[in-house]
């Protein structure tokens, strides 16, 4: 990333020179190149009134206008005893104005010009002469030497000012280079959050908007496998309705397959607040343009978009493209993973027609209970996965035992009690499921220590297992099984209250009782369809 071509506001050499003239008692005027007065002498008292009189100001202005922007003017005697000491004010080797210092001798106080100045300033001439006598002590030679000193002083101040300007420019560039590097580093470091793409996109446009001082930065992304309108992400304030902004961005002509930025002028029908230029850069997935990054209302010293801005926007767009491709791969892998998990749960449910959908319902209830308990979303997602596979160990239990309509023998119950450990052994070899193993192993433990397989009690039971245990108990009592019919909702909730603190964690039961179960009831109805079909086929 190259540094921005920025020059700091030039440090003035004129203001310090005017201040030095004031300190040594030398009056000074400042004019622009066309001879227009910018500032007059800041001298107090009668001398100041006389120097700023309309007559004297007109005489000096007329002289300056005669210089016509040429080379540095010569030392000039405007009238007897009144000498002009001109110093050219330059910028980038071009004269842009003049400083005119004056030296006054005793002859000036006896001149007609002095009289006219007093009349113009409405001051008493004898009184003015007495007041100015001490100030009017210069000679021609002294005035000439003073001019040489002032020009030498001005040259030194210009060298100093150029050095200060260069230093401030370098400091500005160094600061902006740091901001750019920090922005790119922060964007790159944040690319790992593939399960939170919105957060990454918002981070990118926020960092770019603040680093480059755009009024707004936006990204529009087309949803995958959908004809819906592109989603708009926005940082900053475009000063208009987002639909107007969306229209302005989509109207910009750009190459959808190019990695470069396009800088476009604002259209007449677009809101002025988003311009005057819009810079765009395509972002995509798998080599295809799927979105657009745009920025406008450039601020700072230079309102025009430069190569510095486009380079950072291109880099940010490249990160977004790579990130979106990784998100797509991650999403594909996640869907494959979840499909495999769901296939495993379907295989479990297929062994017992009465448990159809049990794992999916337990997974849903577990995740909702986790969210309502204040757990973060990532952990809730993992608890959902644990709920899906919590009974995977039943694959290793004989179907005759699982589907037995009557009371189980002690030996048969021992076989059922083995399913948490069987499930643990089945899943232990899958690295991506390592964190959910405690939920699979311990979801039948009890708070009072009378559960299985290890008889854990209280706080020794993992939180994930406690949550799944509550959800599993609710669904088991709410479902028809081979050995008993389903209990009604009031009976189930009453039994859960009774078991709070002994079988189930009391605080989790309290939270569970506040859940909205309408989605759970929908799942029950959905899962009842295959059961009815199976019973119809059996008949």
Structure tokens at 531: 């059961």
Q: What are the C-alpha distances in Å from 388 to residues 50, 184, 192, 496, 517? A: 97, 40, 26, 22, 18
DSSP letter (8 states) at residue 240:
S
Separation between Cα atoms, residue 182 and residue 222, nearest integer Å: 29
DSSP 139: -
> What pLDDT is stored for residue 539 in this prediction?
39
In angstroms, the CA 214 to CA 422 distance is 59
Mapping DSSP to helix (H, G, I), strand (E, B) and coil, where does residue 292 land? strand
From the number of C-beta atoms within 10 Å of its C-beta (0-12, 13-18, 19+), residue 25 rates as: exposed
Structure tokens at 479: 């479902």
pLDDT at 9: 55
Q: Which CATH number fits domain 193-329: 1.10.730.10, 3.40.50.300, 3.40.920.10, 3.30.450.40?
A: 3.30.450.40
What is the C-alpha separation between 71 and 83, in angstroms, rounded? 19
Domain 193-329 matches domain 351-538 at the CATH topology level: no
Residue spans of the domains in the chain: they are 14-165, 193-329, 351-538
The CA-CA-CA angle for residues 88, 91, 92, to 5°, reads 125
262: closest CA among 251, 247, 273, 246? 251
With CA atoms as reference, report the closest residue to 99 among 45, 150, 43: 150
Non-local (6+) Cβ contacts of 54 within 8 A are: 120, 121
What integer pLDDT is reported at residue 195 of this predicted model?
Answer: 66
Say if residues 433 and 442 touch (Cβ distance below 8 Å). no
The architecture of the domain spanning 351-538 is Orthogonal Bundle (1.10)
* C-alpha neighbours within 13 Å on the C-beta side of residue 144: 6
d(CA 167, CA 185): 27
Q: Tens-of-pLDDT digits for all 539 residues of the chain?
A: 434 444 455 667 788 888 888 888 899 999 998 889 999 998 888 888 999 999 999 999 999 988 866 667 889 999 999 999 999 888 777 888 899 999 999 999 999 999 999 999 999 999 889 888 888 889 999 999 999 999 898 888 888 877 777 666 555 555 555 565 555 566 666 666 656 788 888 888 898 888 888 899 999 988 876 677 888 999 999 999 989 999 888 888 766 667 788 888 888 888 889 988 899 988 876 655 678 899 999 887 777 888 778 888 888 888 888 888 887 887 777 787 778 787 877 777 666 665 678 888 999 999 999 999 999 998 999 999 999 999 888 888 887 777 777 778 888 888 889 999 999 998 998 888 899 999 999 999 999 999 999 999 999 999 999 999 999 999 989 986 656 678 899 999 999 999 999 999 999 999 999 999 999 999 988 887 654 444 444 43
Distances, alpha carbon 85 to alpha carbons 147, 149, 386, in Å = 6, 11, 90
What whole-number distance in Å separates Cα of residue 346 and Cα of residue 344?
Answer: 5
Please give the model's pTM, rounded to 2 decimal places: 0.52
Structure tokens at 433: 């499921």
């Amino acid at each position: 990333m190259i540094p921005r071509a920025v020059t700091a506001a030039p440090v003035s050499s004129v203001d310090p020179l005017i201040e030095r003239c004031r300190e040594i008692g030398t009056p000074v005027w400042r004019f622009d190149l066309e001879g227009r007065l910018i500032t007059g002498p800041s001298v107090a008292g009668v001398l100041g009134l006389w120097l700023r009189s309309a007559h004297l100001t007109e005489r000096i202005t007329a002289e300056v206008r005669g210089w016509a922007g040429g080379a540095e003017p010569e030392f000039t005697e405007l009238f007897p005893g009144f000498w002009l000491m001109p110093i050219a004010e330059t910028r980038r080797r071009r004269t842009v104005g003049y400083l005119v210092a004056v030296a006054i001798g005793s002859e000036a106080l006896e001149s007609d010009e002095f009289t006219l100045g007093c009349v113009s300033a409405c001051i008493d001439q004898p009184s003015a002469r007495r007041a100015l006598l001490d100030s009017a002590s210069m000679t021609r030679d002294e005035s000439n030497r003073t001019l040489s000193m002032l020009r030498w002083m001005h040259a030194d101040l210009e060298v100093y000012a150029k050095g200060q300007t260069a230093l401030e420019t370098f400091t500005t560039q160094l600061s902006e280079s740091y901001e750019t590097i920090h922005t790119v580093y922060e964007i790159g470091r944040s690319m790992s959050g593939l399960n939170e793409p919105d957060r990454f996109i918002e981070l990118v446009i926020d960092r770019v908007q603040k680093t480059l001082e755009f009024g707004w930065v936006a990204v529009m992304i087309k949803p995958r496998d959908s004809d819906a309108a592109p989603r708009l992400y926005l940082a900053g304030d475009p000063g208009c309705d987002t639909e107007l902004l969306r229209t302005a961005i989509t109207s910009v002509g750009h190459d959808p397959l190019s990695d470069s930025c396009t800088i476009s002028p604002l259209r007449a029908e677009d809101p002025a607040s988003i311009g005057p230029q819009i810079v765009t850069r395509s972002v995509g997935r798998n080599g295809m343009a799927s979105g657009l990054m745009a920025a406008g209302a450039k601020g700072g010293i230079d309102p025009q978009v430069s190569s510095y801005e486009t380079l950072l926007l291109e880099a940010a767009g490249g990160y977004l493209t790579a990130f979106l491709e990784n998100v797509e791969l991650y999403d594909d892998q996640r869907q494959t993973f979840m499909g495999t998990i769901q296939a495993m749960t379907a295989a479990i449910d297929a062994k017992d027609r009465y448990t159809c959908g049990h794992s999916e319902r337990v997974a849903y209830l577990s995740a909702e209970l986790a969210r309502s308990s204040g757990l973060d979303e990532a952990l809730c997602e993992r608890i959902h996965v644990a709920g899906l596979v919590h009974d995977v160990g039943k694959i290793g239990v004989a179907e005759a035992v699982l589907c037995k309509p009557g009371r189980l023998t002690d030996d048969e119950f021992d076989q059922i009690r083995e399913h948490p450990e069987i499930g643990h052994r089945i899943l232990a070899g899958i690295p991506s499921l390592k964190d959910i193993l405690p939920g699979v192993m311990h979801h039948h433990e009890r708070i009072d220590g009378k559960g299985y397989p290890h008889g854990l009690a209280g706080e020794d039971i993992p939180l994930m297992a406690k949550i799944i245990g509550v959800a599993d108990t609710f669904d088991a009592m709410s479902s028809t099984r081979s050995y008993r019919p389903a209990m009604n909702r009031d009976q189930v909730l009453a039994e859960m209250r009774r078991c709070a603190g002994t079988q189930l964690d009391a605080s989790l039961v309290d939270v569970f009782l506040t859940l909205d179960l309408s989605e759970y009831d929908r799942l029950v109805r959905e899962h009842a369809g295959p059961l009815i079909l199976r019973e119809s086929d059996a008949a």
